[in-house]
């Protein structure tokens, strides 16, 4: 409107949309699903994000998971600053890579060999190639609503931003790339069995988020993961756990440790680099031995094992390994949040479905039990948008989509959670009185 001064975030967004698709470098950041304009972050410390207009937000995304210790942890900053003096990128081997591999393998017993890459997308893309190379089979099974990054093969009925945008599949993915990707229903072993029966001896791997954290947050029902393990064993198929979200977050040994199910390959993302652009895939030695130069599955990268990223990651992982009380603490806060949300919505007779495990949560605006993609989609996304807008205005930064998870870090306090619960209460009171947001 003429005469109205733009905030610094608004001014930045006006510039950004001219020269970046949608004004962002990752779709969900554009706030398309929730309306309004994105805020631009200037810095982050502990549990808080600070925007360019000087507003402070309690951060419930934690860079989509990796900031489990909170932002700008002094121990990580100090290690990184020291390492930077020694060079930013070598493009050749360093001791840090060996230290990182040894550390991950020590922390996650199902891993025997690992390869570092630069993102979760790259990790999954490479792991699927290794699974295909190892088995000599082309087809893979994924689950509707699970998100495994944006590689062509995996952008089929994907969760996260794809689900937020309401497009089942991305255009630009050649049919040939997606034809070997079969989709089953999460928490439905029968749907997996049917695909195995129709594709006898053709399935290289079943890839699954052991806790589906990209269609909100859907927990595996009892027997689902063990059932997948058995089906894979019966069919000579590899089981691939995508632990980009759950790795080192549910527990130091991730979902495989939490549920006691042993996958053949595991993929990780940014948490391995304490938020730096890092990913990794690893697993059984015989499977990983197909990766070049040991085997003939080609995969490479100049930035893989980057010394700064390794140094940040090693520092964070060591803290997590040596301080199991961190998990007890964040899990307790996660429970406090979920119990509080349930209590206030119940008190004001508003039906929501709150899901969660440890420090991960999701509030679905639906009366239905959410167990898969179809039921997650029953959530009222318009109501979510109103809720999101109110919460942001009160200084709470949640993912700007119904289909992203809520993350709590070790820097959060019960006071933060209680303040957020007060803001939720205010949202409910206002929405009950039909107040416009």
- Which residue ranges make up the site for ligand HOZ (CB under 6 A)? 26, 28-29, 64, 160-161, 214, 404
Residue whose CB is less far from ligand HOZ, 148 or 251: 148
Of 57, 147, 387, 427, the active-site residue reads: 147
Rounded to 10 degrees, the C-alpha dihedral 311/312/317/318 comes to: 60
For ligand HOZ, the closer of residues 254 and 400 by Cβ is 400
Minimum distance of ligand HOZ from residue 16's CB (angstroms): 14
Write the CB contacts of 20 (distance below 8 Å, at least 6 apart in sequence).
Answer: none
- Least Å from the CB of residue 312 to ligand HOZ: 17
Strands (E), 187-264: 203-208, 238-242
Catalytic residue of the set 242, 253, 372, 423: 242
- Cβ 61 to ligand HOZ, closest distance in Å? 8
Closer CB to ligand HOZ, residue 28 or residue 280? 28
Output the CA torsion sign for 221, 222, 223, 226. Answer: positive
- Other Cβ atoms within 10 Å of 134 Cβ, number: 23
Considering the complex, state which of residue 28 and residue 231 has its C-beta at the smaller distance from ligand HOZ: 28
Cβ of 308: how many Cβ atoms within 10 Å?
20
Which residues are within 8 A (CB) of 62 and not within 5 positions of it... i.e. 6 or more apart? 68, 70, 71, 407, 408, 409
Minimal distance, residue 65 CB to ligand HOZ, in Å? 8
Pick 64 or 384: Cβ nearer ligand HOZ? 64
Distance CA 316, CA 69 (A): 8
CB closer to ligand HOZ out of 214 and 375: 214
Please say if 175 is a catalytic residue. no
Report, in Å, the least distance between residue 202 CB and ligand HOZ. Answer: 30
How many Å apart are CA 326 and CA 324, to the nearest integer?
5
Nearest C-alpha neighbor of 429 from the set 350, 354, 351, 364: 350
List the beta bridge partners of residue 183.
142
For the question of residue 147 being annotated catalytic, the response is: yes
Active site annotation includes 242: yes
CB 161, min distance to ligand HOZ, A: 4
Paired tokens of 95: 């001791």
Give the residue at shortest CB distance from ligand HOZ: 26
Do 191 and 371 contact (CB within 8 A), yes or no? no
Q: Which residues of 140-151 are buried (b: 16+ CB within 10 A; e: fewer)?
A: bbbbbbbbbbbb
From 139, 142, 270, 377, active-site residue: 270
Handedness of CA 199, 208, 204, 228 (dihedral sign): negative
Query: Which residues have a catalytic role annotated?
Result: 147, 242, 270
């Amino acid at each position: 409107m003429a005469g109205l001064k733009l905030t610094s975030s608004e001014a930045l967004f006006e510039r950004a949309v001219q020269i970046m698709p949608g004004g962002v470098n990752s779709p969900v950041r554009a706030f398309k699903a929730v309306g309004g304009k994105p805020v631009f972050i200037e810095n982050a410390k502990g549990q808080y994000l600070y925007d360019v207009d000087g507003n402070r937000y309690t951060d419930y995304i934690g860079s989509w998971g990796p900031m489990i210790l909170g932002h700008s942890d002094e121990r990580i900053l100090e290690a990184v600053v020291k390492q930077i003096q020694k060079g930013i990128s070598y493009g050749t081997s360093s001791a840090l890579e060996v230290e990182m591999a040894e550390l991950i393998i020590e922390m996650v017993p199902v891993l025997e060999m690992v390869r570092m890459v630069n993102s979760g997308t790259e990790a999954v893309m490479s792991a699927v190639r290794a699974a295909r190379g190892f088995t000599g089979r082309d087809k893979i099974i994924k689950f509707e609503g699970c998100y495994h990054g944006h590689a062509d093969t995996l952008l089929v009925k994907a969760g996260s931003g794809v689900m937020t945008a309401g497009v089942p599949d991305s255009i630009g993915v050649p049919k040939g790339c997606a034809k070997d990707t079969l989709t089953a229903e999460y928490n439905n072993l029968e749907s997996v069995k049917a695909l195995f029966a129709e594709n006898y001896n053709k399935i290289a791997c079943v890839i699954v988020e052991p806790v589906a954290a990209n269609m909100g947050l859907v927990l595996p029902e009892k027997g689902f993961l063990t059932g997948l393990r058995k089906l894979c064993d019966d069919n000579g198929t590899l089981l691939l756990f995508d632990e980009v979200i759950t790795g080192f977050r549910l527990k130091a040994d991730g979902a495989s440790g939490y549920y006691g199910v042993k996958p053949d390959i595991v993929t990780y993302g940014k948490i391995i680099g304490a938020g730096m652009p890092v990913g990794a895939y690893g697993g059984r030695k015989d499977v990983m031995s197909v990766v070049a130069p040991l085997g003939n599955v080609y995969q490479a990268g100049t930035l893989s094992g980057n010394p700064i990223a390794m140094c940040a990651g090693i520092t964070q992982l060591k803290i997590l390994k040596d301080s199991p009380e961190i998990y007890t603490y964040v899990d307790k806060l996660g429970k406090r949040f979920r119990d509080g949300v349930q209590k206030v919505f119940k008190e004001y007779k508003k039906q929501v479905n709150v899901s969660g495990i440890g420090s991960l949560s999701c509030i679905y605006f639906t009366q239905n039990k959410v167990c898969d993609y179809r039921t997650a989609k029953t959530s009222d996304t318009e109501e979510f948008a109103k809720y999101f807008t109110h919460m942001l205005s009160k200084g709470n930064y949640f993912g700007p989509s119904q289909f992203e998870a809520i993350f709590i870090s070790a820097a959060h306090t019960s006071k933060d959670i209680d303040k957020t619960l007060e803001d939720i209460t205010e949202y409910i009171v206002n929405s009950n009185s039909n107040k416009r947001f």
